[in-house]
Amino acid sequence: MTVTSLKSSQGAGRAGDKIFSGATLAAGCLILAVLFGVALFLVVQAIPALTAPAAEIQGGEGFFAYIWPIVVGTLIAAAIALVIATPIAIGVALFISHFAPRQLASGLGYVIDLLAAIPSVVYGAWGAAFLAKEISPAYNWLADNMGWLPIFQGPASATGKTILTAGIVLSVMVLPIITSLSREIFLQTPKLHEEAALALGATRWEMIKMAVLPFARPGIISAIMLGLGRALGETMAVALVLSSGALTASLIQSGNQTIAAEIALNFPEASGLKVSTLIAAGLVLFVITLGVNMIARWIITRHKEFSGAN
């Protein structure tokens, strides 16, 4: 009696085990399938644009002539964002991990995380309505005094809706990403290294230079790469802030365009071959960000034993 009931319950339990582990495995595989599907469907829908005769693509000179200015524009915007955000983000991370009073540190970290919580469209609206207006006098000054540099060539845009403004908004958006990753790595520095440096008479800055930064270097690099991935793919900040146009070297004139903003601005009204062209542009963006992210993740996993950012 007892034996049979035990057996029957065991049978039910075994089935439950099988079903449950099968379900978890299926979910895991579904994720891989989705990522594969993203690539597959983008390729399938993009093929018409890649094979169409050059004259039918927007601009009339083929897909390559269409895509390369906006690829360059994307890289310019991301580069501006990183140049501004990286030093500030590392400074903020150091402030929270090594300079701020202990009791305040986690609260300050939360304040910086709030920056990441604000939706991108709100940043875009802020950049378009507030920042662009406030910053355009600075552009006039740059055009007057630094105009001999090709990147500050005048006349400056009167509205301030330039790729430099878009880059500044992007830098605000990637700042919390770089900060939170670097902060975690700074906190992972072995306490003994820090104390040894201080015991030898190093000042706080010398301790950071000798113990913290060398330890955290791979982590910082991967944090910057992840920030780059975000800056490359960010749409709304650019779509709302930048008054787009042809590729220009000057950062303070209107012009330039990024892939993500190009898609967002044109996709809702697109049809036919135009849809394929935009999906192909999305494929290019996907490949670029995938590459950047994979390199960043690879750096992190290679240094897994050190860093906590994984």
Q: What share of the chain is helix, strand, coil (3-state, %, to 5)?
A: 80, 0, 20
* Contact characters 191-220, other proteins, x per CB under 8 A: ------------xxxx-x------------
For other proteins, the closer of residues 1 and 34 by Cβ is 34
For other proteins, the closer of residues 92 and 250 by Cβ is 92
Residue with tokens 């996993």: 301
Cβ-contact 219, 303 below 8 angstroms: yes
Provide the Cα torsion 171, 174, 179, 180; round to 10°: 160
Least gap, CB of 186 to other proteins (angstroms): 11
For other proteins, the closer of residues 64 and 130 by Cβ is 130
Query: Could you tell me which of 39, 108, 51, 113 has the C-alpha nearest to residue 294?
Result: 39
Site for other proteins in 238-277 (CB under 8 A): 239-240, 260, 263-264, 267-268, 271, 275
- Site stretch for other proteins (CB under 8 A), options 54-62, 137-145, 151-159, 227-235: 227-235
For other proteins, the closer of residues 17 and 61 by Cβ is 17
For other proteins, the closer of residues 96 and 143 by Cβ is 96
Residue 193, CA distances (Å) to 153, 186, 198, 202, 204 in order? 49, 12, 9, 12, 13
Binding of other proteins at residue 132 (CB under 8 A)?
no
Residue 149 Ramachandran class (φ > 0 left, ψ -120 to 50 alpha, else beta): beta
Binding of other proteins at residue 53 (CB under 8 A)?
no
Query: Could you tell me which of 279, 169, 183 has the C-alpha nearest to residue 230?
Result: 169
Binding of other proteins at residue 76 (CB under 8 A)?
no
Site for other proteins in 17-36 (CB under 8 A): 17, 19-21, 23-32, 34-35
Site for other proteins in 135-194 (CB under 8 A): 172, 175, 179
Q: Phi, psi at residue 9, to the nearest 5°? A: -65, -35
* Paired tokens of 267: 């996709």
For other proteins, the closer of residues 80 and 232 by Cβ is 232
